[in-house]
Amino acid sequence: MTALPPTLRVFVNERVVEVPRGASVADAVRAHDVVAADALGAGERAVTDSRGLPVDPGAETYAGAIYRLISARRTAGADDTE
């Protein structure tokens, strides 16, 4: 039986990122760009899959996954006085 490699290759905004097995989508974003990961954590950015569907940042990633960072829209009723 062949052992699985310790890392997975995924794509974030068209760039190849290597992450450990079991890494979350947020971990893949952090490996791609720390500032973008901080914005994701702050709710300023969101992640979609290759079809443009939203992806939970806490979901486990998989080999060959394609993620795109997008601007997160403000939620309805958010306080705009900031």
- Domain residues for the domain of 53 are 7-71
Residue 42 to residue 17: CA distance in whole angstroms: 22
The answer as to whether 16 is a domain residue is yes
The predicted-structure confidence for 39-61, as pLDDT tens digits, reads as follows: 999 999 999 999 999 999 999 99
The answer as to whether 18 is a domain residue is yes
Structural domain total, the chain: 1
The answer as to whether 67 is a domain residue is yes
The answer as to whether 76 is a domain residue is no
What is residue 81's predicted lDDT score, i.e. its pLDDT?
44
- The CATH number of the domain holding residue 37 is 3.10.20.30
pLDDT band at 2 (very low <50, low <70, confident <90, very high): confident
The answer as to whether 1 is a domain residue is no
The answer as to whether 63 is a domain residue is yes
